Amino acid sequence: MKKEKLLVFVFMLVVVVGLSFVSGAIKTNKDSYNNGDPVYLISTSDPLCYLDLEVVKAFVVEDREWTGGEVLNDARGDSSEVPNKRFNREQLLEDAVIGNFDVVIDCNDNGIYDSGEPIFDSGFEVVAKKGVGRVLDGLLIEDFSWNYDPEEIDLEVEILQVKISVANEGVKLSSLDMAFNNIPSLNLQSVEIYVDNNGDAKLDGEDVKIGEYVPEGVISNRESAEVILDYVLNDDVEKSLLVVYRLKEDVDNGKYSIRLNSLLGVGEITGENISFLGLSKESSVLTVVDAKSCLGALALELDPSSSYENAVVNAKVSNLNGCDGFKVSLRDQPCYLPVRDVASCVVKDGKCEGEVITSGSKTYYACLDKNKDDDFVDTGESVPAEYEFLVKEVEVVEEDEEEDEEGVEGENGEGNEGEGNGGGITGGVVNEGGFAGNLVNNDSFLVLLEVTLLLILFVLVMILFKLGGNARVSGGESDVQGLLDDDDEDEMEEKKDKSDKKGNGKDDKDKKKEDDKKDIGDLFDEDEEGDDKDN
């Protein structure tokens, strides 16, 4: 019995000693992490498992009570290998997700936790990082003035845009605190907060209202207000908030602005209250001025609206109400263009008149800045009127070609009558050149004609001489004369004379040769006849 008791004792001792070798051999580098953090395993036992293995399998499993025999399901999808020895850092997780976990080393690789295998049973937790919200400057809205305009009712004014974003987790926006700077007290319908989805700092159909403050009565200077918001701002998404005043028609003239003091929300994961960083932010300054008094759609009448000559035209402006004392600019360009007035007038009893000196057909414009915002683009602020410069129908002589032909014949008179008609290019040139021009052109043509005729005559005379022979020269001469006008006869004679003088020496030689062959008497008589004519 003593032996048996001894054996049992020894066995128990071995088990206890064995267990002591494997228990508490592993742990993670921290007990608590944020989502996204890396997680490392530390081994304090060498070896981890009393087996001849280089590496062993490590399981990250959901936290539970372990008694032995539980199946190991790795939270990462698969187990990982770690050295079977003492080590300081082996990465288990790169990017921790939220939860509570234990770590088990499966020494015998059977996918089951066996009693005695290394285990980190107290485990580690991964908790969400608290969101961090920020407010940044948005598009700058310049200080501006506003007045009530019954012809173009617009009571919404955008006064401030800011950008908001949050890191680590989404945030449900809960409230916005703001303080007014009103001189005097502000009479408005509401202050509205929009998510400016198209980021243009203008209220439009893209934008979504997420809260509003409706005051009871007027808001005095330095008063503050809280706007309850309903909007979830997602992690890592930047949005723009737009603060819009919805004014009342009878808001007092004055200067108004607002300051955002705080923006609060609740973390979507952590449930923690989050106060946005980056506040406060001041809005632009709204200056409310007198409501628009000058009303009516500007009308313009030109008297006369057409004429045959440049004239003084009365530009009559009318159809105005409450505009007395306002200046109306009269222009020959559209009102939106930065051009000088051609005339102006000051409204009295809803109308006025200016004198415009016309110069050709034109559109004239009347321009009146009814709402005093330094432009002419608002309702009924500009109007055009047509002025027509009439031209008398003048019969245009379409005889340019005929005129040219007449000019050739030396009849210049009609060409000169074309003054001011502005015919074709040719006509214009003729007119500009006047009589002298025609003379030059016709002269050169006449000279050309004369030279041509003389050349023909010369040739004919030469033929005559060649044909001379036995033919009767007197007969040939009469034939030639039959071909010519009476007018040209003298010129022919003159030319012939010149030719005779030039060719005298040669002619004499020819004559001597011919004398030898032909009847000398006949030729001699002919020469004498020609000489007699010249004389």
Residue ranges in 102-141 that form contacts with Ca ion under rule CB under 5 A: 102, 106, 108, 110, 112, 114, 121, 123
Nearer of residues 65 and 487 to Ca ion, judged by Cβ: 65
* Distance in Å, CB of 89 to Ca ion, minimum: 22
* Distance in Å, CB of 132 to Ca ion, minimum: 26
Rounded Cα gap, residues 452 and 51, in angstroms = 135
Nearer of residues 29 and 442 to Ca ion, judged by Cβ: 29
Residue 213, CA atoms < 13 Å, CB-side half-sphere = 24
Q: In which region does residue 405 sit, left (phi positive, over 0), alpha (psi from -120 to 50) or beta (all else)? A: alpha
Nearer of residues 204 and 386 to Ca ion, judged by Cβ: 204
Burial 428-444 (b: 16+ CB within 10 A, else e): eebbebeeebbeebbee
Site for Ca ion (CB under 5 A): how many residues?
Answer: 20
Nearer of residues 298 and 302 to Ca ion, judged by Cβ: 298
Nearer of residues 112 and 484 to Ca ion, judged by Cβ: 112
Nearer of residues 39 and 492 to Ca ion, judged by Cβ: 39
Give every CB contact of residue 273 below 8 A, 6+ residues apart in sequence.
264, 265, 266, 267
* Distance in Å, CB of 33 to Ca ion, minimum: 16
Nearer of residues 200 and 332 to Ca ion, judged by Cβ: 200
The gap from C-alpha 231 to its chain's centroid, in whole angstroms, comes to 35
What x-and-dash track marks residues 7-46 binding Ca ion by CB under 5 A? ----------------------------------------
């997780």: which residue's tokens? 93
DSSP structure class, residue 142: P
Nearer of residues 156 and 398 to Ca ion, judged by Cβ: 156
* Distance in Å, CB of 217 to Ca ion, minimum: 30
DSSP states of 420-436: TS---HHHHHHHHHHHH
* Distance in Å, CB of 106 to Ca ion, minimum: 4
Q: Name the maximum alpha-carbon separation found in the chain.
A: 199
What x-and-dash track marks residues 359-388 binding Ca ion by CB under 5 A? ----------x-x-x-x--x----------
Cβ atoms of 219 and 185 within 8 Å: the answer is: yes
Nearer of residues 114 and 534 to Ca ion, judged by Cβ: 114
Residue 126, CA atoms < 13 Å, CB-side half-sphere = 21
* Distance in Å, CB of 58 to Ca ion, minimum: 12
Rounded Cα gap, residues 313 and 307, in angstroms = 9
Q: Which residue pairs, CB below 8 angstroms and at least 24 apart, start in 472-477?
A: 473/526, 474/526, 474/529
Nearer of residues 202 and 246 to Ca ion, judged by Cβ: 202
Cβ atoms of 40 and 29 within 8 Å: the answer is: yes
* Distance in Å, CB of 107 to Ca ion, minimum: 6
* Distance in Å, CB of 202 to Ca ion, minimum: 5
Q: What is the total residue count of the chain?
A: 535
E strand residue ranges, 268-361: 273-275, 281-282, 286-288, 299-303, 306-307, 312-318, 327-331, 343-346, 352-357
Residue ranges in 188-247 that form contacts with Ca ion under rule CB under 5 A: 196, 198, 200, 202, 204, 207
* Distance in Å, CB of 145 to Ca ion, minimum: 12
Task: Measure Cα distances from 488 to 396, 449, 465, 478, 494 in Å.
Answer: 39, 12, 20, 14, 10
Rounded Cα gap, residues 377 and 145, in angstroms = 16
Nearer of residues 153 and 394 to Ca ion, judged by Cβ: 153
Residue 255, CA atoms < 13 Å, CB-side half-sphere = 5
Residue ranges in 48-77 that form contacts with Ca ion under rule CB under 5 A: 63
Indicate whether 158 belongs to the interface with Ca ion (CB under 5 A).
Answer: no
* Distance in Å, CB of 247 to Ca ion, minimum: 19
* Distance in Å, CB of 99 to Ca ion, minimum: 12
Residues that bind Ca ion (CB under 5 A): 63, 102, 106, 108, 110, 112, 114, 121, 123, 196, 198, 200, 202, 204, 207, 369, 371, 373, 375, 378
